[in-house]
Structure 1
Amino acid sequence: MTENISTISPAPLLVRLPRALAMAAVAAVLAVGPLAAPTPAFAASAPESFADMAQKLLPSVVNVYTTQTAKQPEQRGPAPDLQLPPGSPFEQFFKDFMNRQRNPNAPPRRQTSLGSGFIIDESGFIVTNNHVIDGADEISVRLHDETELKATLVGKDPRTDLALLKVETSRKLPAVPWGNSGDIRIGDWVLAIGNPFGLGGTVTAGILSARNRSMGGAYDDFLQTDASINRGNSGGPMFNMKGEVIGINSAILSPNGGSVGIGFAIASNLAKPVIEQIRNGGQVKRGWLGVRIQKLDEDVATGFGLDKARGALVSSVQENSPAAKAQIKQGDVILKFDGRDVPESDRLPRIVADTPIGKAVDATVWRNRKEITVKVTVGELKEDEVAAAADPNVPAVTGEVKSLGLTLAGLNAQSREKYGLDESAVGVLVTDAAQDSPAFEKGVRPGDLITEVGQESVKTPNDVSDKIKAARDGKKKSVLLTLSSRGETRFVAVRVD
């Protein structure tokens, strides 16, 4: 059975899951000396009951339900003539179905979506997931006391799957405070509350299983929990033991659509500033750098002379972008941005997005085997700008030249036409990659253009061969190749030992 991640809604979004998550074990503490020392308390013990906390928080969690009009499908050409045996029990069913399809005046169907939300302000502001209300014609909210109110959409942010609603009421509503998701530790208790399907509040408890999880989005920052989270709980809050919101329940890992103890919540430290921007201006503005980035593996890091795989590798720089104006170059590894470490590539988009637009910041980059600092003035990300993260389907690959089954050729008019290369392209073309070779297995294909070896330009197959031989003679384990393919640039650490 294939596992999947689904948003917790009646129409789940399915994506692939990274490999299984690791669990840590705590070693026992041994007493020493004539008298046993007290055992340190590694974590607070489980509360005797969550009842008091749940009773206080439940009124702040609401059911969100929406309706939208589903258009009738266009009839394209004559309806098919279904031949069914006389007296078939399906005969009338298919006649009724086809009559509805042929009737252009049939009333539009109404579709309903259900989810959860929570009140953040007594005046009626409610947070939920964007996928709960996306495409809705009408949005309604059912409070804990069964009061039903019409809601208006203040704004939404599909990039983080967040939305803010507003209901009008003469009474003060029970609101819950934001907490600091950065303070919660793996193993701490959490409480998840939802109001699924209008059944009323549902409370589940568990521990925080992991932090900083990503599902492939540029701005993902998910908390993982083993607290049971089920469909209809999307948009509901996850609380710490102080009763503060430290996450918004959004997705589950499940083989069948039900909870199996792996749920994901958007971290409050990501959600809170997004919601504040929506509340203040109806839209979210993010910082923009203008680079496409690639993840470093250990081989590529070694090729760049880094002590370990860290930072974000710049695979290309957009023209007239803040990065281009700051002289950030292809092949730079961004290690720090505005004083914040970049431990891995997917952190950079989040760090840049949180940086105030127009702010001049220092960026520490690794270039030519040493650190340098450049000054960058952060721009504003527009909806039509290229996303900051590189295409995740572009692999970080490794390969050799001859011993890995690669055949090289110089560029000419015929090869440029065959592989769609423009006249300005310079480099050495991979014309063949043996299917049983390590290079092929790692993604090197005919049509890839080798533009640099060891960060030095190459124009002929001999240039490549000479630089590979020099690397071997110099007792190097690997040499770095710069490849261009389909308009994208990537870096490949080629083992030469």
Structure 2
Amino acid sequence: MTSKKTGYLLGAVAGAGVMAAAVAGAGMRLPDAHADGQAHLIKASTAPIFAPPPGAPMSFADIFDRVSPAVVSINVTSRVDASALRHIPGFEGLPFDLQPRGGQGGGGDDEEGAPPETGRAGPKGQPKLPTQQSAGSGFFISADGYIVTNNHVVENAETIKVVLKDETELDAVVIGRDEPSDLAVIKVKGGRTNFPFVSFENSGKPRVGDWVLAVGNPFGLGGTATAGIVSAYGRDIGDNFVDYIQIDAPINRGNSGGPTFDIYGRVIGVNSSIFTPSGGSVGIGFAIPSDVADAITKKLITGGKIQRGYIGATIQNFTPDMAEAQGLGAQKGAIVSDTVPNGPSAKAGLMPGDIVVSVNGVSIKTSTELTREVAKAQPGDSIKLDVIREGKHRPIEIKSGVRPSEKDLALNDNTPGGGDKSPLAPPTPHPTVLGMALAPLDDVTRRRLNAPPEVKGVVVEGIDQNSDAGQKGLHRGDIIVQANGHPVTSAADVSAAVDAAKKANRTGVLLGIFRQGRTTFLPIKIAG
């Protein structure tokens, strides 16, 4: 007893004021050091020991007991190259647990000592794909067996097994998938109509700092609950159609598709991605907001196809450097790099170099915001843009098309052509502007660069690597098609743009660069 008092006293003497403040309301007795060196007990407040701070729940147990029966583990068998899994640089698409089984690179025997499967035959002469087992999460949203999960959990599924809280295992099939939002709906087979289910919360949402509870199947540990707070709203992690909720409730591999609940047991998000330098949770997770998930999954259940507006334009952020080069101050928006030939934008008169600042009256600050606003339209709708061209605002009205699949868009992004990266010095002297030796785009050069006939401009035939243009990656074979919003066909046009920028006391010039079949805009600083 004496040793316990002595140890307690040492802690109290070291920080008696802090200790007293910390436990004053905890119903504890705390030692008081007197001049005689003896420890005497003084009575503290009689407040309950386990009283939480204001606003904090005593426990999440009641919430978990109520909602956890609706959360399921999803085990998927598929055949797919692991390198094709969804991945965002710096992020993990909450990668569901992946365990290759047999075949090429299968990594050992299957369960119960069975020999590895040889895999389904691929294209002639190519290796067969291995069987892969993966695990994710999901949750019932109806009594008759509809389950919400992530698209990346089930997109390549050959078989799907749903494991309930009581370890009952049921077969399921895919009802619908939406790759852009990473959402999917599956349904349990068998016709049962008494599944416990939960609901999306679309009206009131937690504030930043409010408690949330995540339930799922991390690392195959079904029925795992973790708690944290809402860390932020409107996080852009590279997906075009979702403003993510950031949470710090620990979520890991296998949590894909699981729900995040508020303290009332309502679903406020579908867990989808984590930021991780290590592969595990570091307290930064991302959930698809419930209003987005609710609208999309309802369409999938009714057999509807998710269609999004499309204007057929390649865009990029209009950065502060670009605004300075154009003399547009703090203007934000999205700049048009290219338009699809005969696409909605091209037909409406939208041009490369146009700066889109609003869509249907909604101000635009980034290229992602432009994409999301356009996507809200239905095919055939009228989309009204406010653009800046040559320093002046002008309206452009575009009839929306149908957004192609992500796969088709990716194929279009890899259009061949242009871009001679040869480091050879130019064979003949050419005028030098902004550290670049510029030559006319004649027929011989056009054939060498495989540039389409409609592309007009001047060709970079040499570059000073110490110049800003060199530092920003311009190289031989790039074609300059615009300078500060004006088309160029000669080195003199680029020089004139530089001179005009100097007279206006600007420090840079915005160049449109055609390379590899695409136009990109770069602000280039004027030396000196």
Q: Same fold (TM over 0.5)?
A: yes
Kindly provide the amino acid, as one letter, of the partner of residue 139 in structure 1: I
Asked if 1:114 is matched to 2:155, the reply is: no
Displacement, 1:291?
A: 0.8
Q: Is the 8 A contact 2:227 2:249 kept in 1?
A: yes
The DSSP-based 3-state class of the residue aligned with 2:300 is helix
The DSSP-based 3-state class of the residue aligned with 1:281 is coil
Correspondence for 1:51: 61
Correspondence for 2:13: none
Q: Is the 8 A contact 1:125 1:166 kept in 2?
A: yes
Correspondence for 1:154: 175
Asked if 1:217 is matched to 2:239, the reply is: yes
Which of 450, 453, 469 lines up with 2:499 in the alignment?
469
Q: Is the 8 A contact 1:181 1:247 kept in 2?
A: no
Q: Is the 8 A contact 1:292 1:388 kept in 2?
A: no
Asked if 1:138 is matched to 2:148, the reply is: no
Higher relative contact order (CA 8 A, sep 6+): 1
Closer, same or farther: CA 421–110 of 1 in aligned 2, 3 Å: closer
The DSSP-based 3-state class of the residue aligned with 1:121 is coil
How many equivalent pairs are there? Answer: 422
**How far apart in 2 are the matches of 1:423 and 1:350?**
33
Which of 314, 324, 349 lines up with 2:336 in the alignment?
314
Q: How is 1:449-460 mapped onto 2 (pairs within 5 angstroms)?
A: 449-460=479-490
Displacement, 1:73?
A: 4.3
**How far apart in 1 are the matches of 2:175 and 2:457?**
52
Q: How is 1:283-322 mapped onto 2 (pairs within 5 angstroms)?
A: 283-322=305-344
Asked if 1:128 is matched to 2:158, the reply is: no
Q: How is 1:338-487 mapped onto 2 (pairs within 5 angstroms)?
A: 338-383=360-405, 385-386=408-409, 404-487=434-517
Kindly provide the amino acid, as one letter, of the partner of residue 279 in structure 1: I
Q: Is the 8 A contact 1:289 1:388 kept in 2?
A: no
Q: Deviations over 1:137-177 (max 9, x none)?
A: 21111122322221111011222222101114433222211
RMSD: 3.3
Q: Deviations over 1:158-197 (max 9, x none)?
A: 2222210111443322221112389443323221111346
Correspondence for 2:197: 175
Asked if 1:205 is matched to 2:227, the reply is: yes
Q: Is the 8 A contact 1:292 1:389 kept in 2?
A: no
**How far apart in 2 are the matches of 1:284 and 1:103?**
33
Displacement, 1:304?
A: 3.5
Q: Is the 8 A contact 2:457 2:480 kept in 1?
A: yes
**How far apart in 1 are the matches of 2:284 and 2:382?**
40
Displacement, 1:125?
A: 0.6
Q: Deviations over 1:301-333 (max 9, x none)?
A: 223443425222111111232222332222222
The DSSP-based 3-state class of the residue aligned with 2:509 is strand
Q: Which moved more, 1:228-237 or 1:319-328?
A: 319-328
Correspondence for 1:245: 267
Closer, same or farther: CA 44–414 of 1 in aligned 2, 3 Å: farther
Displacement, 1:207?
A: 1.4
Structure 2 length as normaliser, TM-score?
Answer: 0.72
**How far apart in 1 are the matches of 2:433 and 2:245?**
45
Closer, same or farther: CA 231–479 of 1 in aligned 2, 3 Å: closer
Q: Is the 8 A contact 2:140 2:146 kept in 1?
A: yes
Correspondence for 1:190: 212
Closer, same or farther: CA 479–118 of 1 in aligned 2, 3 Å: same
Q: Is the 8 A contact 1:57 1:176 kept in 2?
A: yes
Correspondence for 1:63: 73
Kindly provide the amino acid, as one letter, of the partner of residue 114 in structure 1: A
Q: Deviations over 1:190-234 (max 9, x none)?
A: 211113466441111111223333333333432221111122111
**How far apart in 1 are the matches of 2:378 and 2:278?**
42
Q: Is the 8 A contact 1:66 1:140 kept in 2?
A: yes
Displacement, 1:117?
A: 0.2
Q: Is the 8 A contact 2:383 2:397 kept in 1?
A: yes
Structure 1 segments, 4+ long, off by >6 Å, are 99-105, 387-391
Which of 250, 260, 267 lines up with 2:289 in the alignment?
267
Q: Which runs of 5+ in 1 are unaligned?
A: 1-42, 75-92, 94-98, 392-400
Displacement, 1:482?
A: 2.0
Q: Is the 8 A contact 1:291 1:388 kept in 2?
A: no
Kindly provide the amino acid, as one letter, of the partner of residue 148 in structure 1: E
Displacement, 1:250?
A: 1.6
**How far apart in 1 are the matches of 2:505 and 2:157?**
63
The DSSP-based 3-state class of the residue aligned with 1:255 is coil
Kindly provide the amino acid, as one letter, of the partner of residue 317 in structure 1: T
Displacement, 1:292?
A: 0.6
Closer, same or farther: CA 159–415 of 1 in aligned 2, 3 Å: same
Q: Deviations over 1:225-267 (max 9, x none)?
A: 1111122111100122332222111222233322121112222
**How far apart in 1 are the matches of 2:328 and 2:202?**
33
The DSSP-based 3-state class of the residue aligned with 2:337 is strand
Kindly provide the amino acid, as one letter, of the partner of residue 67 in structure 1: T
Closer, same or farther: CA 216–308 of 1 in aligned 2, 3 Å: same
Q: Is the 8 A contact 2:214 2:251 kept in 1?
A: yes
Closer, same or farther: CA 259–73 of 1 in aligned 2, 3 Å: closer
Structure 1 length as normaliser, TM-score?
Answer: 0.76
